[in-house]
């Protein structure tokens, strides 16, 4: 599969070309804003360097959230626009999956991956995964006051901008991953390429917090 992946969900912007089971080109830039202005030039730069056309791609992949409202719209609109125009599939990958992917490579046997973004307002976006990246819980917006009681009594490999929040809530059984705390399009590409199209997450935004929403204090739900 020849696939192009995009991430603009958090404070970074990245694109990656995936071909023959590995990354074949990549651009990444830390940036809390300005994704709309940076994304297309990054795509053009990668396309010119690697010498491919959009028409020859088999699929597109994009992070669907959780993340910033503006950033998510930029990435989703771009990926879906190309996919519709070219008649290609567009696969969604959550930003929590994207940061869990590299952390899983360094996790020890028996550890759970705690993918977490600091969502401000004394909240966090959180999802737990097994080492093989099967989800243990659904993505959730949780209150920091409830975090200690929501975390399972198991060793944790914490990753993301909220990793320190996990460590503060479960210090004795938490290890901070060396992996980047922000999503990378290479991880998005690797995850998407391993999925069949009938199992793919639709490229629709995953908004766990509505504007001015109250804190969600429900316990983490297990996937159905």
Question: Comparing C-alpha atoms, which of 211, 176, 223, 193 is closest to residue 68?
Answer: 211
Number of Cβ atoms within 10 Å of the Cβ of 84: 11
| pTM for the full predicted model | 0.91
Beta bridge partners of 6: 15, 62
Which pLDDT tens digits describe the chain residue by residue (224 residues)?
899 999 999 999 999 999 999 999 999 999 999 999 999 999 999 999 999 999 999 999 999 999 999 999 999 999 999 999 999 999 999 999 999 999 999 999 999 999 999 999 999 999 999 999 999 999 999 999 999 999 999 999 999 999 999 999 999 999 999 999 999 999 999 999 998 777 677 789 999 886 544 444 445 656 65
First-residue to last-residue Cα distance in the chain: 29
**Backbone φ, ψ for residue 117 (5° rounding):** -110, 135
CA 120, 123, 125, 129 torsion: positive or negative? positive
CA distances 26 to 7, 42, 90, 142, Å, are: 11, 9, 19, 33
Strand locations in the chain, DSSP E? 3-7, 12-19, 22-30, 59-63, 90-93, 112-120, 123-129, 140-143, 156-159, 174-176
In angstroms, the CA 94 to CA 113 distance is 15
């Amino acid at each position: 599969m020849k696939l192009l992946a995009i991430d603009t969900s958090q404070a970074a912007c990245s694109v990656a070309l995936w071909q023959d089971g590995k990354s074949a080109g990549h651009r990444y830039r830390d940036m809390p804003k300005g994704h709309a202005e940076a994304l297309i030039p990054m795509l053009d730069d990668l396309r010119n360097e690697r010498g491919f056309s959009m028409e020859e791609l088999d699929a597109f992949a994009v992070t669907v959230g959780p993340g910033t409202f503006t950033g998510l719209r930029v990435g989703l609109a771009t990926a879906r626009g190309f996919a519709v125009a070219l008649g290609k599939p567009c696969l969604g990958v959550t930003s929590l999956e994207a940061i869990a992917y590299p952390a899983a490579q360094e996790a020890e046997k028996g550890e759970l991956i705690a993918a977490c973004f600091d969502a401000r307002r004394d909240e966090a976006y959180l999802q737990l995964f097994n080492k093989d990246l099967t989800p243990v819980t659904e993505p959730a917006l949780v209150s920091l006051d409830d975090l200690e009681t929501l975390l399972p009594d198991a060793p944790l490999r914490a990753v993301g901008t909220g990793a320190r929040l996990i460590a503060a809530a479960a210090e004795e059984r938490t290890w901070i991953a060396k992996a980047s705390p922000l999503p990378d399009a290479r991880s998005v590409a690797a995850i998407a390429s391993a999925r069949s199209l009938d199992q793919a997450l639709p490229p629709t935004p995953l908004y766990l917090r509505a504007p001015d929403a109250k804190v969600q204090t429900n316990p983490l739900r297990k996937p159905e």
